[in-house]
Structures are given as C-alpha cells and as structure tokens.
Copies of this chain bind each other. A is one copy, B any other.
Amino acid sequence: MPSSDRYSLIGGKHRKIKISALVVLLLAVGIGIGILLGYLIAFSIHYEPEPSCGSPCQDADPTVSSKLMASMEATNIRGFLSDLSSKPHLAGTPEDFETAEYIQQKWLDQGLDSATIYPYHVLLSYPDDTKPNKVQILNDDGSDNYTCVDMEENLRPEDQNPNIVKHFNAYSAIGMAQGDLVYVNYARVEDFDYLATEQPTLNLTGKIFIAKFGKIFRGNKALNSQERGATGLILYSDPADYGSDDPTAKVYPDGWWLPGTGAQRGNLHVSDYKGDPLTPGYPSNDYMSRIDMEDTYLPDIPVQPIGYDDALAFLRELDGPDAPSNWQGGLGITYKLGPGFTSRGRKVKMDVHTTRERKWTYNIVGFIRGAIEPDRYVIVGNHHDAWVYGSVDPSSGTAAMLEISSAFGKLVKSEEWRPRRSILFCAWGAEEYGLIGSTEWVEDFAKNLGARSVAYLNIDQAVNGDWYMRAKSSPLLYQAIFNAAKKVTDPSDADKTVYEVMVERNGDYDNPEIPYVSNLGSGSDFAPFMYRIGVPGLDLRYTYDRSLGISSYPLYHTAFETFYVMDQFIDPDFNYHLAASRVMAEITRDLSDALVIPFNCQDYADRLKYAVDSLKTSYQQDMADNSINFESLDSAVENFTASAQELYERTGEVDRENPLAVRSINDQLMGIERAFIDPLGLPSRPFLRHIIYSPSSTNYYASASFPGIVDAMFKIDEDPNQDERWKLVAEQMSVAAFTIQSAASTMKDYQL
C-alpha cells in the first residue's frame, strides 16, 4: 500500500498537509526553474540572432545621413583639388594616367572594397608639336600681317608648365584654308537662316567663317559651317559672352574674368554616339575592330580657337554690311559681316595640323559592395581628364567625389555600416573628347548596367560659381534631390538650406515654390547612361548668377582655369564644394540604402504632360492641317499618369516585411526610365534611344523633348517632299505614343 506507507512515512494529518504544501512548493519551485530553463532552451534552440530573412527587410538606418555629413570637410576637398589641379592632366598624356593612379590609390586607402582601372584605346587629338597651328592675316603680297598667339599669355609665374597644350579644338580636320572672312555670330542654324534671308547676296561658299563660342555646342558650329560651304572656322570667346559689363571687374589673375589670350579648347565630335569615334556601339578594347576614319562624324574643315585679343584684329578689319544689333559683341567695335577686309588685298589664312591618334584612356571604378542587394548599383561619376589644369572642369567634381567616397569608405572600413545596394564611384577618362571613357564603359557593360543600375549621379564641375545649386535631372530623381538639398545648410546663409536658396534664386517658372530643375541635355557623362540604356541621371553643381549673362564661367577650358582661381575667387573656403558634396552624398546614401527606391513616378507623369502641352503649342495647328492629331499621345499620357498613380499607391502599401515584394516594386521603379528606351533609336540617330528626352539635333548641349517629333517637324515647310516628311511626323507621333503606353504597362500590377 504505497499511499499508507507514504502517510506513515511522514506521519499524521498535520504532517500530511505540511508535506503536501512542501510537495507543492517544491514542485512549484521546480516548475518555476523549469519554465525558465525551458524558455531558455527553447530560445537557444530557436533563436537566430540575425534572422536569415530579417536583414532583407531592414530599412535605412536614419543616423547614417548625419554621420556621413559630419565626416566631410572643406579642407579635405581643397587638398584633393590642390593635388589634382597641380599640373595639366590632358587625356592620353602621362599626367592623365598619374591622375588615374592617384584616384585609385585614394579609393583603396579610403576603404572601398576595390578600385579597378578600365583602360580603353581610343581616338584622341592634339596639336602637332612639330607643325604649329596658325591663324593669320596675310598682306596682299602673301606676307604675314598678323599672327594669332598659339597659347595663353603667362600671367602668373606659378602657372607656367611645359605641358600646357596649345590652342586647338580636338578632331579639327588637318588643312590649310585661305580666303575672305565672314562673321556668322554663333554659327547656329538661326544665324545662317538670318544671313540667307536678310543677306541673300552674301555668298558663304569658300569663305572662312569666324564665330563666337557660346549658346550651342562648338561641334554643331563646325557642322553648320561646313554645311554652308566654309573652308575653315575660327572660334573665339567674345567679352560679351565671357566678360563682365562691370568696369571694375578684373581678369585673371586679379579676378575670374577671361583675359584676351584665353582660348576655349574643346572637342568637335558631332556624331550622336559620342564615345570613341572609331567604335560606335562597342567598347574600344584591344580586339574590337575600328571603322574607317572617313566613316566617322568628325569635321571636314580646319577649326581653330583664338582669344578675343586676336579676334579683335580680325573683326575690326572686316568689310561689308553691319551685323545686326543682336549680333554685336563686346569688343568695342561695330561688328560687320564681311566678306573680306576693308584692305582688299588682305586674306585670312588658317593652317591647322591638329592630329587624330589612338591613345589609352583610363576609367577608375571604386566599388562598395552592397550588404543586401549587391547586384543593384548606385553610380556616382565624374571625369578626371582636363584640357589644362581643370580646377573647375572637372577637378572640382573629382575633389568632391573623393570626399564623398571618403565619407562612405570610413563607415564601411570601420564595419559600422554598409549600404544595402552597391555604390560605384567612377572617374572617367577622356570626357573632354566626347564622353569617351564613360561611353566606352557603358558600351562594355551595358547588359549589367541596364539590369542593375538604380541611377547615375554626375558631378562634373562641382563648383563654377557661388550663387545656387543647379540641378539637371530625370524627373524620377527630383524628389531625391529636393530631400537631400533640404538637409544641407547653404554656405551663403547659415539659416537657409541649399533647397531654400535654390527656390529663392532659381525657382521653377510655373511653380515658384520649388526649384527649377532642367532636363539633362548632354555635355557630360550622364548622357550614355540616360540616352543609351535608360538609367536615370542627374547632374549637380554650384553655379554663378545667370543674370551675369555669360555663356559659361569665364575661364572655361583655358589655361587660366587654375587652382588659384578657385582658391582665391570662386570658392575660397571650399564651403560650396562641401555643400555640393554633402547633397550628393545624401542622394547617394538615400538611393543606395532606402528599402524602397526613392523615385517619384508621378513627377514623370507631370513632365510628360508638360512636354506634350509644349508640343501642342508649337505644332498642333500645323499637324491638324495635315490630319495628325494628339489623340493617341494624350491617351498615352493619361494611361501613364494612371499607372504612375497605381504604382505610387502600391509602393506605399507594399509589405515591407516581404523582401521579394519590395524587390518587385523596386524593379518596376527601376524599369520606368528604361521603358523610354527604343532599341531602334531616333531616326538617323541610332545611338540616342530615349524617346522622351535627348540632346537636341541642333545643339548637343541642350535637351529636346520628343526629339523624334521635333526633328521631323524641323523646317518641314521647306522640305520639297511634303508627303514623306508628314509621314515621318505621323510615324514619330505613333512611336512616342506607343513608348509612353508601354512605359505605363511596366508600372501595372504584373498582369499584361
């Protein structure tokens, strides 16, 4: 009888209760301990300190932004710029390669995961040391009357350097031209139209043209001139475009204004494809076959830049009718059209020996591997080649980029933080020769970049003035720019953000509450990303007050663009560099770390609507007269707008704990710009594939909206083949409508 045994063992009722209490107590203690142990055991078995699927769902760490900003310093940027602009570093020279190595070393030191040099063997162009380029006035006996200087006057002993390249424009034809001079203003299409209309007896054929730099890309000036029969083209920077009205304004080295011997170097590559002229569509690696020189789009005539001192010698001698008042410049003379000089026997002679030769150029790519999505790229880029010292263009941007990469490198190196997505810092070679380094690299890696790139962020001239931060951008990135600019104090006023100064000094025309952001146009390395493979781009810089009325910062592409001018006049404290760098760093952080990519598709819808409205203003009547209406284009924009709204809502509602749902949404956001790419390209411009925006046909620097349509309408009245041209317009209208419709379809909820 075990129970009685037990009872007897502990004895009596009283004891029984006591012992029962003890049993309960002991059991309870045991259970208590047990629960704790069991809990711990369960926890230790099942707990995963970093749940395998946890980190993919993690959103950006909000503290990183301020850490990045705090770690950036103006003096560092000054130091980088001082190094970079200490000597000329023209593409294809030994100093160019040294610059590449400098950047590579910096990135390795800063703690990036890798820094790789990508070389390409490309067609570049230089003055021939043995045969100097000459622009002269000859007397009627053929003797020399006047010869232009071939180099900036040395105005500051420290600027002297044997490697300063002489005046030239890259890819000029080699050739000798002799004859009468004609002044053609900026050599734009509208300038020649004016001459054709208002000066019908002025025969341009066989003449040498003189034109001012500014307004349009110089390559288009060369193209326009050779199409009008010029045998040579002289380009110069007029004081009205590169000087000041202010009598107290001082030229270099006493100020930032252009002295009379400064000539604007620059390339004349007029094809739509840019990149190496010899390998359209493919990378210039060692085995790629090259096209023949005669199949390239390079000028057929000699082109040479001069300073305004020399230009005065030519223009003051010009004969013929007065140029119209809006063609007059700042040389203090009455500009005449020509042809020829008042001293009848005198002629102009150009003797140009600018070479075209294959050289190596180098891109450097610094890589930070993304912690969660290493196969998504946020790309920050700037070119490293300069015409001479390049303290503004491009080294102010290179210096800024190095400080940005340093800030990211510090956090990565210390293992404190790593961005969700990969960041690529790119230092491009030979941009000055026509976006060559970036274009070749995009051609080389188009498939990876097309599939993986979130955005391309360009900083070419970080600072060319101190008035406000100017942004060019794809509409997708407007909000990312604004958000970053709101987080950074403007150097001009400690109480204002960069954003507030942007609004104040460069408000949007239609909506002055927000900053004006222009379309990208071209002119820097965002072009191959945006127009070839549909990676949304932006370009930021601090710039000067547009009311100065100048065509660019005055010393642009001259030997006077030194560290000194930046350090003394443009940004003495490097605070504008710092502000630009901080904004760029914040955009980079945001794009690389936010769980959901911060693209705004509704801004794109608004811009499309705006672009169609502009088209209507220009062409609706004309088109209606030729039975072409806007119905399909309007309907496409409506659908795009509705789809953008739908995607916007889905983005807001996405299950942020489901990493694949988030990735799908992000893929759709990344696909929007891509959807505007047509592999067939624009008519006659197969390498410009963005149907909504592209560089203008008449000015590579500028942006055109609906370029296919605008080009089809360009001077349509003058075309003898009206049927064919209007058929082209109809075709381009339907291609534009289809492209927008198909972009709308990419934003829907996966069912086609």
Contact = CB atoms under 8 A, between A and B. Distances in A.
Interface in A38-54: 38-43, 46-47, 51-54
Interface stretch (A27-35, A133-141, A172-180, A397-405): A27-35
A737 B116 CA distance: 22
Contacts of A196: none
Contact of A281 (B33, B680, B749): B680
Contacts of A680: 281, 686
From A658, A746, A752, name the one whose CB has the most chain B CB atoms within 10 angstroms: A752
A573 B74 CA distance: 83
Contact of A447 (B33, B674, B686): B674
A590 B229 CA distance: 66
Interface string A736-751: 0110001101100111
Contact of A31 (B37, B287, B373, B737): B37
From A114, A282, A735, name the one whose CB has the most chain B CB atoms within 10 angstroms: A282
A32 B749 CA distance: 52
A10 interface: yes
A28 B30 contact: yes
Given A660-B56, A680-B686, A447 B746 contact: yes
A445 B674 CA distance: 13
B750 A374 contact: yes
A749 B680 CA distance: 31
B52 A657 contact: yes
Contacts of A751: 113-114, 116, 367, 369
A451 interface: yes
B658 A422 contact: no
A444 interface: yes
From A15, A38, A746, name the one whose CB has the most chain B CB atoms within 10 angstroms: A38
Contacts of A735: 282
A671 B35 contact: no
Interface stretch (A238-246, A257-265, A726-734): A726-734
Nearest to A34: B34
A667 B34 contact: no
Nearest to A534: B447
A537 to B, nearest CB: 18
A447 B738 contact: no
Contact of A448 (B663, B733, B737, B745): B745
Contacts of A35: 34-35, 37-38, 41
Contacts of A282: 734-735, 738
A35 B752 CA distance: 54
A679 interface: yes
A289 B30 contact: no
B671 A451 contact: yes
B33 A36 contact: no
A496 interface: no
Nearest to A281: B680
B41 A39 contact: yes
Nearest to A631: B287
Interface in A75-92: none
A722 interface: no
A657 B48 CA distance: 13
Contacts of A675: 447
From A281, A632, A738, name the one whose CB has the most chain B CB atoms within 10 angstroms: A738
A155 interface: no
Contacts of A731: 289
Q: Please report whether the interface of chain A is mostly helix, strand, loop or mixed according to DSSP.
A: helix
Contacts of A369: 750-751
Each complex incorporates copies of this chain amounting to 2
A389 to B, nearest CB: 31
A745 B450 CA distance: 13
A65 interface: no
Contacts of A679: 679, 689
A202 interface: no
A686 B444 CA distance: 20
Interface string A328-371: 00000000000000000000000000000000000001010100
A713 interface: no
Contacts of A733: 289
B287 A444 contact: no
Contact of A287 (B452, B632, B746): B632
Interface in A1-36: 9-10, 15, 18, 23, 26-36
A39 B659 CA distance: 29
A710 interface: no
A730 B737 CA distance: 40
Interface string A425-454: 000000000000000000011111001100
A57 interface: yes
Contacts of A374: 664, 749-750
A655 interface: yes
A249 interface: no
Interface string A448-488: 10011000000000000000000000000000000000000
Interface string A94-131: 00000000000000000001101000000000000000
Nearest to A655: B52
Nearest to A629: B287
A69 to B, nearest CB: 28
A372 interface: yes
6 contacts: A28-B30, A31-B34, A52-B53, A282-B734, A447-B674, A680-B686
Report the 8 A-B pairs with minimum CB-CB distance, sorted nearest first.
A34-B34, A30-B30, A38-B38, A53-B53, A35-B38, A42-B42, A31-B34, A287-B632
Interface of A: 9-10, 15, 18, 23, 26-43, 46-47, 51-54, 56-57, 113-114, 116, 281-283, 285, 287-289, 365, 367, 369, 372-375, 422, 424, 444-448, 451-452, 631-632, 655, 657-660, 663-664, 667-668, 671, 674-675, 679-680, 686, 689, 727, 730-731, 733-735, 737-738, 742-743, 745-746, 749-752
